[in-house]
Amino acid sequence: MKLPRVIRLDPSDTFIFERAAEPGEWAVSGGFLFAGCDPEIMQTKERHAFRSGFLGTGTLGFSTLVTVSLVTEAERATAVSALADSFLKLGAPNRAEAEKAALEEIAFAASLCDHPEGTLIAMERRMEEGEVRERFRTLKPRENALGADKLHAFSRAFTFHEVEGEDEPEERVDLVSMMNTKAPGGGPQ
């Protein structure tokens, strides 16, 4: 059995999210936290969590990446219990309903892990017609280039390998135009 586990490749999650998930904790997509929200009026850190944050089951912190990991039945039960506790704090009517919702979230998270152990998963979340939509991408290490030394064995560490969900054009930002925009008073912004 496999579940997503929080991984932190660099400290950026501790800066971009209000609360970062702890490396090694089990994770779910967390989209339920944003039902009925308007991303346009969110503060910056909340908007980052909305757009790309997996939810740690113990801390309710966010992580940009998770890794497919083997989970024991006892660890899975602990993750379900922690998530159920959080659902109770978030207003679930009783323990049975909280556990039912936690089991559904864990089952969905497990469905994302139909990949080899160690595969990284990233998410993109958006609001569409009042509903939260999520797309997931897997990142797999590249194979060694034949004949290359250890330092040059890979052209890139990871590549986007698979996209699950609806296709949509990439969001692009024109940084050159933004740099050329003048702020009030004549200077650059």
Q: What is the pLDDT of residues 38-50, one digit of tens each?
A: 888 999 999 999 9
- Give the count of beta carbons closer than 10 Å to the beta carbon of residue 53: 30
Q: What is the pLDDT of residues 66-125, one digit of tens each?
A: 999 999 999 999 999 999 999 999 999 999 999 999 999 999 999 999 999 999 999 999
Provide the pLDDT confidence category of residue 140 given band limits of 50, 70 and 90. Answer: confident
Q: Which two tokens stand for residue 71?
A: 């989970």
pLDDT above 70 (res 150): no
Task: Using DSSP, state whether 114 is helix, strand or coil.
Answer: coil
Burial degree of 154 (CB within 10 A; 0-12, 13-18, 19+): middle
**pTM across the whole model:** 0.74
> Residue 142's pLDDT is what?
63
- Do the Cβ atoms of 115 and 124 come closer than 8 Å? no
- Give the count of beta carbons closer than 10 Å to the beta carbon of residue 36: 8
> Residue 53's pLDDT is what?
96
- Do the Cβ atoms of 139 and 122 come closer than 8 Å? yes
> Residue 49's pLDDT is what?
95
> Residue 64's pLDDT is what?
97
pLDDT above 50 (res 169): no
Task: Using DSSP, state whether 91 is helix, strand or coil.
Answer: coil
